[in-house]
Structure 1
Amino acid sequence: MISRKASLLLIAPALALMAALFLYPLGFSLVSAFRQEDGGGWGAGNFLRAWQFYSADIVFSLVIVGLSTLLVAFLAAAIAGYLTLGENRWCLAVLRWLYRWPLFIPFVVAAQLMRTFLAKNGMMNNALVELGLLTPFTTHSYLDWRGIVITFVWKQTPFVALLLAGAMAALDRSTIEAARNLGASRLRLLWDVVLPQVRPSFGTGLILSFVTMMSVLSVPMMINAQTPTLLTVDMAWRINAYGDYGLANALGLIAYAMTGLVAWFYLRQGLKENR
């Protein structure tokens, strides 16, 4: 049996990495965010300046990431549900092979792909013109907030769908077959029987996606070259252009608060259900 000291030695490298890569930066951010601009005291001045300069970007970030999370939830549930309840072997094989591709593509590559796909003269508009659905004069660029949402949804849907499909595959099939024998449609099965049983995995995947999308810099910087924009772009701008770590860290803590609020709401709902 492993002694307590040996156990601590085994987990020491992981604890050291957590302290160096997460706890220390978090502590530095807290100290820097509450230190006054002139370095002489403490206060909420950086947060007041953050709201004064970037209130529109704060609201924009919350709306864009929230909308993307909702779309990811809908598509992931549809994909995982069809993988679990679908019966067409060809469609299942194609879907299993196709939907996982974005998992292996980094966000910076996804952003570059979408720049060439969603531009006014990009691949999507050219395909629609060739099909006769649009003319060259009626095409539109989607390199704005819509492009950010499309990129986020395309990139994060496979991640949530994979977690959800795995949880659905572990369910007792007898409940599904019983509901099917009673005449329940595939949509009713998914909504009333399957999804309630995999709600913890579903919620965990959506929270992780929300946090991931809130922290991405490459997508808004490469796709949305206008204002308002996401907070990650504002933080990078304040540091690179002005060396203003106080305001940048204040924006970072505001983003932390957004993600923490979402996680708290999910955990609160889970505790209520357990009670």
Structure 2
Amino acid sequence: MARPSFFGLLLIAPALAMIGALFLYPLGYSLAAAFTDPQGGLSLVNFGKAYEFYSTDILFTLFIVITSTLLTGLVSIAIAGILTLGETPWLVAALRALYRWPLFIPFIVAAQCMRTFLAKNGLMNNTFVALGIMEPIQATSLLDWRGIIITFVWKQVPFVTLMLAGAMASIDRATIEAGRNLGASRLRVLVEIVLPQVAQTLLVGLVLSFVTMLSVLSVPLMVAGSQPTMLTVDMAFRINSYGDYATANALGVISYAIAGTVAWIYLRHSVKREVQA
């Protein structure tokens, strides 16, 4: 029994070494540095500086990520619901062909595309002007917090929709047909019959999207680039401009705490669901 265990450990040793070197060691180092003062003692001075300088950015980050997550969930539910319950063949086919595209586009490319699309003289406003929907003088730039949210939602909707549509497709169609035969509208069937059965999948997709958006640097840096901004930009600024790794690590720990809180809520919900089952 010892030999297979040894060879199994040998096989996973490179992966474990990479995880330790690239993830666990930086995590431990950043945690230690965040709680260490310039003299080398334990202190919360770095968190005090982070709160003093970036408390507004912490709230701004929470607002952006929570709003983007909620909008991602709503749009994903709408698209997955149409794919599952839609009765218009061309619309279902068009959505099925188009909704996955942003999934394969990196965040930095998405941010650059949005800079062109959402600018005052960008593609969106020029299209509206050409169609006569608005006058040129009415054009405004969305390269601010609105642009960040639009980019995040556009980028994350395909990921959540793919998970949600797959879960909806696995539902017993008899329950859906029973609701329709009793006169329920498609919206009511979606909300009262389908969504409760795929709520766990939706929650997983939203938690993963929340953590992903919380960690993105390119979108807030390229799309908005003004104050207030997100914590990832603040961390990069403290390091690149001042070499202040201690404050940057404190901001990182705050990000860990935010992500950990969301993970805790998800785990608590999952455990409660299993106990009730």
TM-score when normalising by structure 2: 0.96
Note the residue ranges of structure 1 that are not aligned, 5 or more in a row: none
Q: Which moved more, 1:213-222 or 1:174-183?
A: 174-183
Question: 2: CA distance between counterparts of 1:24 and 1:163?
Answer: 32
Match of 1:251 in 2: 251
Match of 2:202 in 1: 202
Question: 2: CA distance between counterparts of 1:13 and 1:194?
Answer: 43
Letter in 2 for 1:269: H
CA-to-aligned-CA distance 1:133-185 (integer Å, 9 cap, x gap): 21111110000000000000000000000011111111222211222222221
Question: 2: CA distance between counterparts of 1:86 and 1:115?
Answer: 34
1:210 to partner: Cα distance: 0.4
Match of 2:14 in 1: 13
Note the residue ranges of structure 2 that are not aligned, 5 or more in a row: none
1:94 to partner: Cα distance: 0.6
Match of 1:35 in 2: 36
The residue matched to 1:198 in structure 2 has which SS?
A: helix
Match of 1:49 in 2: 49
Question: 2: CA distance between counterparts of 1:92 and 1:40?
Answer: 61
1:39 to partner: Cα distance: 3.3
CA-to-aligned-CA distance 1:6-49 (integer Å, 9 cap, x gap): 2222322222221122111100111111111x233111110111
Which aligned pairs between 1:180-259 and structure 2 lie closer than 5 A?
180-259=180-259
1:58 to partner: Cα distance: 0.2
Is residue 107 of structure 2 the alignment partner of residue 123 of structure 1?
no
Match of 1:22 in 2: 23
Match of 1:111 in 2: 111
Q: Any runs of at least 4 consecutive aligned residues in structure 1 with deviations exceeding 3 A, and if so which?
A: none
Match of 1:134 in 2: 134
Question: 2: CA distance between counterparts of 1:185 and 1:10?
Answer: 54
Q: CA RMSD, aligned part only?
A: 1.3
Question: 1: CA distance between counterparts of 2:182 and 2:15?
Answer: 51
Which aligned pairs between 1:61-72 and structure 2 lie closer than 5 A?
61-72=61-72
1:117 to partner: Cα distance: 0.5
CA-to-aligned-CA distance 1:102-137 (integer Å, 9 cap, x gap): 011100010010001100000111111111121111
Question: 1: CA distance between counterparts of 2:56 and 2:92?
Answer: 43
CA-to-aligned-CA distance 1:73-117 (integer Å, 9 cap, x gap): 000011111111112221111101111110111000100100011
CA-to-aligned-CA distance 1:37-74 (integer Å, 9 cap, x gap): x2331111101110000000000000100000000000
Question: 1: CA distance between counterparts of 2:222 and 2:272?
Answer: 42
Question: 2: CA distance between counterparts of 1:6 and 1:178?
Answer: 54
State the number of aligned residues: 274
Question: 1: CA distance between counterparts of 2:262 and 2:186?
Answer: 30
Question: 1: CA distance between counterparts of 2:237 and 2:18?
Answer: 28
Question: 1: CA distance between counterparts of 2:215 and 2:200?
Answer: 23
Letter in 2 for 1:4: S
